[in-house]
Every structure is written in C-alpha cells, then in structure tokens.
C-alpha cells in the first residue's frame, strides 16, 4: 500500500510536552505553559453552565448545521447564516479550503514564516507552494502579488501573523484586495482578531459584499478560551461557502463545542476585559525588552516574539527546567528568538525575571 508521495516530505504535528510530564521530568510542583497562545484567564463564566446542560445530550449526534450557534453568530457579525462554515478549530477550515480549491495543477502563495498549516495542507493536495519571505516580520504584499499567476488558487494572509504578531493595516489590505485577480481566493486568517487594539486594523466583514474572493477565518480557541473544544469558523460569500460545504465532515463540531461557543459569544464583556489585560501584558514585555536593549516585534496578538541573539533551543530548555514552557523560534523560522504567550501579570513578571538572568 503506497501513501501519497507528497506526504513523505511532511512531519506530523509535534505538540509540546504536557505539563504533567514536565513536572515529573524536572521535579517541579508548578509549571506555567506560555507556548500555545491560550487565554490565561480561561473562558467566560457562562460556559460551564452551558456545558453542564449539554452533557446530558452526549448520546445524540451534534447538529451538523450548528443551527443555534449559526443564528447567533450571523446576528453578531451582521451576515447571512449561509455565509458561515464551522470547523474543528479554524485549522479545519484551512484544510477544507485546500481540499476544495487546490490540486497538482494549481499553486498557492504563502508568507514565510507564517502559520504552518497553510503549507502543510497545500502540500497534501499536491499544489505548488510559493513562499514569500516576510520583511521586518510583515507580509511582503507586493511580492505576494508578483507571485500570482493564472494557476494561483489561494493566497494566505495571517493578520495578526503567527509567529511575529505583526498585522496588515486597512490601507494595505484594501490595496491588496484591489490588485488580486478575481480568480484567486484571499484567506484573511484573523485567529487573534479579538486581541487587536490597533485603530487601523481592517474591519473585513463588510468587505465581503465587495469581494467575492475573500474568506475570513476566526476561532473560539484564543480570546474566547475554548481551545480544548476545537471550534472555529469561516465567513465568506454564500456561493463560496455552499461550494465548500461538501468538503466538510458531517459532524465535525461537537455538541459541547457548539454550546460553549454560543455561551461564550454572548459574553463580550469578558472579551473586552481579556483584550485590555493582554494589552497591559504586552507592554510588560515591551518595557523589559527596551530596558535590556533586546529586539522584539510589537504584537497585536496574545504573544510576543523576542530575539535574544542566542540559540533559541538553549533558552527554551533553561526556561523549561524552571517550569516555564514557551515556544522556541527554531521551528518557526527565527532560530535565536522565543515566542512567548502573554500570560497573567504575575506570570509575565515571573518569566521576565528569569529572562533577565538568562539574557
């Protein structure tokens, strides 16, 4: 039995060590995970009661159409219900897009580095990958346009970008959309959108009426604090969504995930509070970096990429032994940097003190 040739060049996702394993290996009583951009403040208090009620229905398949969540989310966003598609995290929407549009006769344009699942899924479909290096942590939009041809099917924009945290401002986004040929789908991945405080960050949803070749990806995993339940969504024209729906698995989001997302969506005060706390947390790192004369990328996400000008894996290991799990930039295209999730004020102060000692 022969596996697809293109899979031979790929590696399965390698998750970081679980907290319990780190505790055991290093004899630690407490471990703080700041590696996966999870919300240190958890999720809305409205979620637990919703889950308690829904857990009574585990014998039943979930609603494959996500009707209740779809109705509420469409009202929240100001779009039609059929303009939404739900996935097992926004990662699955990436997979659905690739499955729906890409093949060995097509190519896709991606920033380098950026969220790796764009490339991963495109490779599986056999598409040609055209990677355009970032400049100062930002997408090189002009060069991405230059790489588009008649066989280009999808262009990926991650804003705020993972791992740099840099974003595409409104003027740049609109200019890009005007220049992209209509046969090319532009994916605006906005997984960290709820954390953005920049005033010139584009409001992309209203643009869907103007650009039929635009799809917006968002998630309940980050600011909403529902990473374990795996639920995200895409917003696009009704025609595009209905075209991709056959590529979606029939029961791809669970009853629990749908109920939790619905409850979380109704608590926007929680999201506002998390955004403000996150902004203050970013500023803690900015002050540290400026005091220590260390390079960093100003971030609009809930993480920061800091360049320590030394081996990232070595820094990662030192922090791990002290009970702090971060993300080594070695696997992200930044071999001397660490990507650190913005934690609580206490967590940030603790790890910053360690970084002072190691820097």
Q: Which residue, among 204, 244, 169, 251, has the nearest Cα to 79 in the 3D structure? A: 204
Answering whether pTM is above 0.85, one says yes
pLDDT tens digits along 248-280: 999 999 999 999 999 999 999 999 999 999 999
pLDDT of 16 > 80? The answer is no
Q: Would you list the domain boundaries of the chain? A: 5-43+269-358, 47-266
Sign of the C-alpha dihedral computed for residues 241, 242, 247 and 253 taken in this order: positive
Identify any residues that bridge with 214 across adjacent strands, giving them in sequence order.
186
Mean pLDDT across the chain: 96
Mean of pLDDT values over 233-242: 98
Q: Facing residues of 107 across strands?
A: 128, 152
Q: List pLDDT tens digits, range 19-68.
A: 999 999 999 999 999 999 999 999 999 999 999 999 999 999 999 999 99
pLDDT, position 9: 83
pLDDT confidence band for 359 (50 / 70 / 90)? confident
Decide if 168 contacts 157 (C-beta within 8 A).
yes
Q: Which of 54, 42, 39, 38 is nearest to 262 (CA)?
A: 54
Helix (H, G, I), strand (E, B) or coil at 95: helix
CB within 8 Å of 158: residues ≥ 6 apart:
111, 114, 115, 118, 139, 189, 191
pLDDT digits (tens, 9 = 90+) for 191-214: 999 999 999 999 999 999 999 999
Handedness of CA 7, 86, 170, 185 (dihedral sign): positive
Q: Residue 8: what pLDDT? A: 83
Confidence (pLDDT) at 17: 74
- Give the number of other CB atoms < 10 A from CB of residue 165: 24
Please give the full DSSP string across 209-238, using - where no structure is assigned: GT-TTEEEEEESSSTT--GGG--EEEE--H
Identify the pLDDT of residue 309: 96
Which pLDDT value is given to residue 2? 76
**CATH architecture group of domain 5-43+269-358:** Alpha-Beta Complex (3.90)
> Quick one: average pLDDT of 155-168?
98
Question: CATH fold of 47-266, please?
Answer: 3.40.640
pLDDT at 224 over 90: yes
pLDDT tens digits for range 308-334: 999 999 999 999 999 999 999 998 999
Residue 348 has pLDDT above 90, yes or no: yes
Q: Are strands 327-328 and 324-325 parallel, antiparallel or unpaired?
A: unpaired
pLDDT computed for residue 315 by the predictor: 96
Mean pLDDT to the nearest integer, 122-130: 97
Per the document, the length of the chain is: 359
């Amino acid at each position: 039995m022969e596996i697809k040739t293109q899979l031979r060049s790929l590696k399965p996702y390698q998750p970081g060590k679980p907290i319990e394993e780190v505790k055991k290996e290093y004899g630690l009583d407490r471990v703080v995970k700041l590696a996966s951009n999870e919300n240190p403040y958890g999720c809305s208090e409205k979620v637990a009661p919703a889950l308690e009620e829904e857990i009574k229905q585990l014998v039943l398949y979930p609603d494959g159409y996500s009707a209740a969540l779809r109705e509420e989310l469409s009202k929240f966003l100001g779009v039609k219900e059929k303009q939404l598609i739900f996935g097992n995290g926004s990662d699955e929407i990436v997979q659905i897009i690739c499955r729906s549009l890409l093949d060995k006769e097509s190519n896709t344009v991606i920033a380098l580095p950026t969220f790796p699942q764009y490339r991963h899924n495109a490779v599986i479909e056999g598409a040609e990958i055209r990677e355009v290096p970032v400049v100062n942590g930002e997408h090189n939009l002009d060069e991405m346009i230059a790489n588009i041809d008649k066989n280009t099917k999808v262009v990926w924009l991650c804003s705020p970008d993972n791992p740099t945290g840099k974003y595409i401002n409104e003027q740049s986004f609109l200019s890009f959309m005007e220049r992209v040929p209509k046969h090319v789908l532009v994916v605006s991945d906005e997984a960290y959108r709820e954390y953005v405080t920049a005033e010139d960050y584009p409001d992309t949803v209203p643009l869907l009426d103007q650009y039929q070749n635009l799809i917006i990806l968002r998630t309940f995993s980050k600011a909403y604090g529902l990473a374990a339940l795996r639920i995200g969504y895409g917003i696009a024209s009704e025609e595009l969504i209905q075209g991709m729906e056959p590529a979606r698995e029939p029961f791809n989001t669970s009853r629990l995930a749908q109920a939790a997302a619905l409850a979380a969506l109704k608590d926007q005060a929680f999201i506002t509070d998390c955004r403000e706390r996150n902004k203050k947390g970013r500023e803690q790192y900015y002050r540290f970096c400026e005091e220590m004369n260390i390079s960093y990328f100003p971030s609009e996400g809930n993480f920061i990429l800091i360049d320590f000008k030394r081996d990232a894996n070595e820094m990662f290991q030192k922090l791990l032994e002290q009970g702090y799990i971060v993300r080594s930039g070695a696997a992200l295209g930044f071999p001397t940097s660490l990507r650190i999730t913005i934690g609580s004020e206490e967590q940030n102060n603790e790890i910053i003190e360690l970084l002072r000692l190691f820097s």
